[in-house]
Structure 1
Amino acid sequence: MSLLLLVLAVALGPTPSSAAGTDWWNPTARPAPDSRINVTGEPFTGTDAKGEVRGFVDAHDHIFANEGFGGRLICGKPFSEQGVADALKDCPEHYPDGSLAIFDFITNGGDGKHDPVGWPTFKDWPAHDSLTHQQNYYAWVERAWRGGQRVLVNDLVTNGVICSVYFFKDRGCDEMTSIRLQAKLTYDMQSFVDKMYGGPGKGWFRIVTDSAQAREVIEQGKLAVVLGVETSEPFGCKQILDIPQCSRADIDKGLDELYALGVRSMFLCHKFDNALCGVRFDSGALGTAINVGQFLSTGTFWKTETCKGPQHDNPIGNATAAAAEKKLPAGVRVPSYKADAQCNVRGLTGLGEYAVRGMMQRGMMLEIDHMSVKATGRVLDIFEAESYPGVLSSHSWMDLNWTERVYRLGGFIAQYMHGSEGFVAEAKRTEALRDKYGVGYGYGTDMNGVGGWPAPRGADAPNKVTYPFKSVDGGSVIDRQTTGERTWDLNTDGAAHYGLVPDWIEDIRRVGGQDVVEDLFRGAESYLDTWGATEQP
């Protein structure tokens, strides 16, 4: 269809409202009681004057992380057929006062104590600095969609070693078993939403498996949900004492299975070196703890070398992590590292290159965040030689010196959900490159990803969010979000859960200006451009 015909079709054709009745975006059977959305106005549909889709893209989220890591690290569920009170409740060991919320005090300091009651009071969670409580309740995701988000990448996530060493679990630790379950539950959530809107295919939460399907969903005003994978040992490809525990046949079988599940993007390594690639290190005490996990998983600690170019991996540092080090066998100590040797010696292995080429054959997009710079450099060499654009950096974990090389290939970049000041500063730093290559920008919320989210700027902060405010397209009015007896305000609560994504975008607009938000509003189109080009034979 020509651009002119496309514009005419959008302008003159039937809208979802006329096709599906008044207020098509409102459910006919929402559970009661339930969370409020606190957005009024019709979601925008169609394309812009250039025939391009509009909207924000979250390139990195973990809706079902509660099902990873043994099932008890993240407390609460994104939805429940039994209702909100069943979905939004704490882990049983957190009762009565959080004394056994071990991962809470490991990640957040203090004693981990908190009020475990979720619905309806939500006294202490979800919160911007609580890493163990559900942030992706379906109604909060719905609010983000109503606020203008049109693409969400749901990264299926787990880590077998964290599962094995964590005190509480209610299932086994096999990573691929968890990935399969999370994929199934994403489809179940789609059906759960569909039932509210009158039946199969009618809901706003739409899992898509190709870029054309995603465009169709977005033009209808709905949310295109893409499945990704972020795990440390995909296909069982761990390495023990540098010996791979998988084969090419395992990789082919694994890629075929993931593709059949609907997965279209993935990480080949995450946190631990594996049989496919070396990782980009974590720093400080967390880095030490993960290095201990690396040893427990592989029998080897990270090894470093002097970097060969301007790119470098994160400094490991020599911080102590006493609790983690107690897990090591007697007499084994975490090594120290030289400050001028900051690159992982491990790059892309032969099996890793086989997996990369297997993803290319299937038209899948590769996430380079968490890959060592040595591995990333080789991946980019392969992609450049084949003119393959399917490269993603979804949450600020690649070396920033790769930025133009990714854009030149046709890849897509999203920034981690930093506080508005930091997000704006980084967005402006790379603005000229986006202008040069004509691309939009994205964010990666990484919610349920144990990363921490923007803290409140304060009720008296300059340029604070003023409620209610209009959505970026101007068609909706967004007020403070209420679930049960709790109402959240970004100024005083920070980005506590997914429903506050529109509030955070408004904070970015007030701090950084309209230009940054317009770059983000072009994000869905640019993400789909990368995906569509990746699908070409």
Structure 2
Amino acid sequence: MLLRLALAVSLVLAALTPASAATPWWEPVARPAPDSQINVTGEPFKGTDGQGRVRGFVDAHNHLMTNEGFGGRLICGAAFSEKGVADALKDCPEHHPAGLGAIFEAIVTGDFDGHDPVGWPTFKDWPSYTTVSHQQNYYAWLERAWRGGQRVLVQDLTSNATLCIIHPFKDRSCDEMASVRLQAQRTYELQAFIDKMFGGPGKGWFRIVTSAEQARDVVTQGKLAVVLGIETSELFGCRTFLDIPLCNKDSIDRGLDEMYALGVRSAFLCHKFDNALCGVRFDSGTQGGVINAGQFLRTGQWWQTEVCKGPQQDNPIGTVGPNALIPASAVAPQYDPAKRCNVRGLTSLGEYAVQGMMKRHMMIEIDHMSVKAAGRTLELAAQKNYPGIVSSHSWMDAQWTEKVYQLGGFVAGYENDPGTYVAQAAAYEPLRRKYDVAIGFGSDYNGVGSHPAPQTGVTYPFRSYPDGPLVDRQRTGERVWDINVDGGAHVGLLPDWVEKVRQLGGDQLVQDMLGGAESYLRTWSSTQRWRS
């Protein structure tokens, strides 16, 4: 019976997506038409070297499904759509006319003059390296990054209840964990969408993995291993108000068990606002002032500072000026520049959550933790010889780097301006040599962050690494993107960014980056093997 059923299923799949002997394994047997071009020519590398090591770039921090978060209307456009590219890459109706309704983008970027809101097929003004409200992770652009050498992607499920509440447009609940569940579901749906193009279940290049062994097998096949993570401000509903925690140990255990069952294997305990688990590393500048106002609205308390106890410091806090988010009677404190550290560290509930993540062999993200919280997390990990510590996008004090490496953890730099990335990589090269580790990057696409400005000197076509495929300018619809003109406008331009990094940092740095997949999987493997 099972044999007949399997035969029937295989015949149906063959009828839906007939395979062609002439179709290379890395090309789909049927792609929606019309669609974006990939503009990468040649076979992606696969297999291992003589020592059993895999190769590939690691994007340790990305947000494929942010359009489903923040109430569902903050990011316009989707990573994919069964209806095709014209549906996926369309703008929010409130952005019309002339982009003047993009209130959030105007506040964050300071661009109050609007923009052309049309996506497919013209894409006159978006996505761009400055956008914070348009899709930058369309699946075909991600496919280009994979074809250009990326082999591990951490897909962080994200949202923020406060931003959702104050954003005037939304079509769903602001509950962060409800959004996390939906984004996980959409990520699995994206995997099925790509599988269908490549001939059926398991055939596509986008593979969600739940163990280091699965990931290594996927990378060995030349495909992209996708790890689910979480980056929210109220993990498991662990909000605090007037210093009263609104969660308990039972809710933490239930949340960890549920997320693990969903396939999540890494998480941040806090992000942007202090919560019942830990204090955060502050934001600076205008954005820092806005986030501190949000902190006050959500927690009933402003950020509080103290003199740092060691060489590590939190970021200076941005000034909270006149702000429509807060009542006129609420006056933000004046901060002493000599007091750079958040008074709030890892709470007792936070320590329980760290121990719960260790028990489940999950990777603990320490970016966005305050110096006190990160320091205590590292102490707990050191006491247990726990290797599963990750800094994925340059949001910890860099002086913790050696401590992370000593434990067996993994560090990735933010996808900064190429010159900044190269300088940071050079500064920590001696530590990488000492601990025999490689380096990754965190692109943070659709994470309301900045991306590299236009570059100079990248000549098309180029090899994405010395023996890699040929990469040309990326075309979607009527628009052609060129990193010399457009900077890091979307995830598909990561190979172009790596080429500029290579020009500035040399071939050896790119080889270190290609070792990122192996280093990340070593950390994950050690985390799985760990015994208390």
C-alpha distance in structure 2 between counterparts of 1:377 and 1:145, whole Å: 35
Counterpart in the other structure of 2:51: 50
Paired AA for residue 139 in structure 1: A
Alignment deviations for residues 465-515 of structure 1 (CA, whole Å, 9 cap, x no partner): 110011215141110000000001101110100110000001110111111
Question: How is 1:232-381 mapped onto 2 (pairs within 5 angstroms)?
Answer: 232-317=233-318, 319-322=319-322, 325-381=323-379
What is the aligned counterpart of 1:534 among 524, 527, 532?
527
Counterpart in the other structure of 1:415: 413
Query: Closer, same or farther in 2 for the Cα pair 1:306/1:140, shift >3 Å?
Result: same
C-alpha distance in structure 2 between counterparts of 1:204 and 1:110, whole Å: 38
C-alpha distance in structure 2 between counterparts of 1:327 and 1:199, whole Å: 49
Is the 1:100–1:112 contact (alpha carbons within 8 Å) kept by the matching residues of 2?
no
Paired AA for residue 202 in structure 1: K
C-alpha distance in structure 2 between counterparts of 1:85 and 1:290, whole Å: 34
Query: Closer, same or farther in 2 for the Cα pair 1:44/1:340, shift >3 Å?
Result: same
Question: How is 1:135-534 mapped onto 2 (pairs within 5 angstroms)?
Answer: 135-317=136-318, 319-322=319-322, 325-457=323-455, 461=456, 464-472=457-465, 474-534=467-527
C-alpha distance in structure 2 between counterparts of 1:281 and 1:504, whole Å: 28
Question: How is 1:113-124 mapped onto 2 (pairs within 5 angstroms)?
Answer: 113-124=114-125
How far does residue 169 in structure 1 lie from its aligned partner after superposition? 0.8
C-alpha distance in structure 2 between counterparts of 1:327 and 1:502, whole Å: 40
Paired AA for residue 292 in structure 2: N
How far does residue 330 in structure 1 lie from its aligned partner after superposition? 3.9
Paired AA for residue 90 in structure 1: D
Tell whether 2:102 aligns with 1:101: yes
% identical equivalent positions: 64
Secondary structure in 2 matching 1:163? helix
C-alpha distance in structure 2 between counterparts of 1:19 and 1:294, whole Å: 56
Query: Closer, same or farther in 2 for the Cα pair 1:320/1:277, shift >3 Å?
Result: closer
Alignment deviations for residues 216-264 of structure 1 (CA, whole Å, 9 cap, x no partner): 0000000000000000001110011000000100000000000000000
Secondary structure in 2 matching 1:70? helix
Counterpart in the other structure of 2:15: none
How far does residue 327 in structure 1 lie from its aligned partner after superposition? 2.1
Over the aligned positions, Cα root-mean-square deviation in angstroms equals 1.3
How far does residue 63 in structure 1 lie from its aligned partner after superposition? 0.3
Query: Closer, same or farther in 2 for the Cα pair 1:19/1:253, shift >3 Å?
Result: farther
C-alpha distance in structure 2 between counterparts of 1:373 and 1:481, whole Å: 41
Is the 1:468–1:479 contact (alpha carbons within 8 Å) kept by the matching residues of 2?
yes
C-alpha distance in structure 2 between counterparts of 1:78 and 1:335, whole Å: 41
C-alpha distance in structure 2 between counterparts of 1:509 and 1:167, whole Å: 43
The answer to which of 197-206 and 111-120 deviates more is 111-120
Secondary structure in 2 matching 1:44? coil
Is the 1:412–1:530 contact (alpha carbons within 8 Å) kept by the matching residues of 2?
yes
Counterpart in the other structure of 1:37: 38
C-alpha distance in structure 2 between counterparts of 1:207 and 1:390, whole Å: 19
Paired AA for residue 150 in structure 2: Q
C-alpha distance in structure 2 between counterparts of 1:309 and 1:492, whole Å: 43
C-alpha distance in structure 2 between counterparts of 1:188 and 1:468, whole Å: 33
Return the TM-score normalized by structure 1. 0.94
How far does residue 320 in structure 1 lie from its aligned partner after superposition? 4.0
Counterpart in the other structure of 2:4: none
In structure 2, the gaps of 5 or more residues are: 1-18
Alignment deviations for residues 243-300 of structure 1 (CA, whole Å, 9 cap, x no partner): 0000100000000000000000000000000000000000122111111111111111
Counterpart in the other structure of 1:14: none
Paired AA for residue 505 in structure 2: G
C-alpha distance in structure 2 between counterparts of 1:239 and 1:142, whole Å: 40
Is the 2:464–2:498 contact (alpha carbons within 8 Å) kept by the matching residues of 1?
no
Is the 2:23–2:29 contact (alpha carbons within 8 Å) kept by the matching residues of 1?
no
Counterpart in the other structure of 1:90: 91
Would you identify which runs of 4 or more consecutive aligned residues in structure 1 move more than 6 Å? 18-21
Is the 1:44–1:473 contact (alpha carbons within 8 Å) kept by the matching residues of 2?
no
In structure 1, the gaps of 5 or more residues are: 1-17
Secondary structure in 1 matching 2:70? coil
Is the 1:101–1:112 contact (alpha carbons within 8 Å) kept by the matching residues of 2?
no
C-alpha distance in structure 2 between counterparts of 1:41 and 1:71, whole Å: 37
Return the TM-score normalized by structure 2. 0.95
